[in-house]
Amino acid sequence: VFWARELATHSPELFEAQIKGQTISEITRRGKYIVFHLTHDFMLIHLKMTGRLYVSPAEDFSGDADRWLRVSFRLENQHELRFADTRKFGRVYLTPSLAEVIGKLGPEPLDDAFTLNDFTSRLAKRHGRIKPILLDQTLLAGVGNIYADEALWVARIDPRREVSTLNQDELSMIYHAVRQVLQQGIDNGGSTIDTYRKPDGSKGENQERFNVYDRMDQPCPECLTPITKIWLAQRGTHYCPVCQT
């Protein structure tokens, strides 16, 4: 452990003692958390803004990201699982109880079990503007700033709309748009704006498919009106002032 505050649940000493010798049986995902299933515990990693996960040969620190190495795990095969993180916002959790870390997350938007009715009934309990609410991980798990903006463009909804004013058609549009843009992001290997890399070090491709995110003053792909950027809940928000109403 090279940066202790990256560990959310343990001191470096206790973390090392507890995880040593455990076997990784499976790696899954819940919302924005990567979940390592260990012999006695779960280890969860949240990359936040600049986290990177990759495997390198032990003793070899020549990789691009090694300069920002925060936590490294020695594996059995002379390799290391490494977590690098420029801004140090990322977190590593170690716990026998998954619910302790991710118990309050909303449903997985891409699950078959997640229906339009689920979405509508969850939103019905909320008040406020649609964009900040889409970012709330207890409503849905996994929608971040890029995908909230992109989904609302696909749905043609103004990010400042009060959720109470959305009709059934509009809720359906948002529901389908969220699933569409998330699936597209996965299919395209994620969005590399700056630091994001796949485990093999290559860049994602989804940033080349952005319609509004990071495109202030560039033409809307639909109507050619310049994309507007505003701030909502302290997050940059991009939308087409003509298409999205």
Note whether 127 binds DNA by CB under 7 A: yes
CB of 29 to DNA, least distance (A): 12
What whole-number distance in Å separates Cα of residue 213 and Cα of residue 143? 14
128 backbone φψ class: left, alpha, beta (φ>0; ψ -120 to 50): left
Note whether 192 binds DNA by CB under 7 A: yes
CB of 23 to DNA, least distance (A): 28
Piece in contact with DNA (CB under 7 A), picked from 35-43, 55-63, 126-134, 171-179? 126-134
Note whether 30 binds DNA by CB under 7 A: no
**Which H or E run contains 183?**
helix 168-187
| Among candidate residues 223, 62, 234, the one with its CA nearest the CA of residue 54 | 62
Beta strands in 18-108 (DSSP E): 26-30, 33-37, 42-46, 51-57, 69-74, 79-85, 91-95
CB of 39 to DNA, least distance (A): 27
Piece in contact with DNA (CB under 7 A), picked from 54-62, 168-176, 181-189, 226-234? 226-234
| Among candidate residues 219, 245, 240, 220, the one with its CA nearest the CA of residue 230 | 240
User: Rounded to the nearest 5 degrees, what angle is found at the Cα of 233, between the Cα atoms of 189 and 208?
Assistant: 25
Of 8 and 22, nearer to DNA (C-beta) is: 8
Piece in contact with DNA (CB under 7 A), picked from 86-94, 106-114, 165-173, 174-182? 86-94
Note whether 236 binds DNA by CB under 7 A: yes
171 phi/psi in degrees, rounded to 5: -60, -40
Q: Which of 9, 12, 30, 49 binds DNA (CB under 7 A)?
A: 49
CB of 234 to DNA, least distance (A): 5
Note whether 62 binds DNA by CB under 7 A: no
Entry field: residues in the chain: 245
Which positions touch DNA (CB under 7 A)? 5, 31-32, 46, 48-50, 67-68, 86-89, 125-129, 132-133, 135, 137, 144-146, 191-196, 232-236
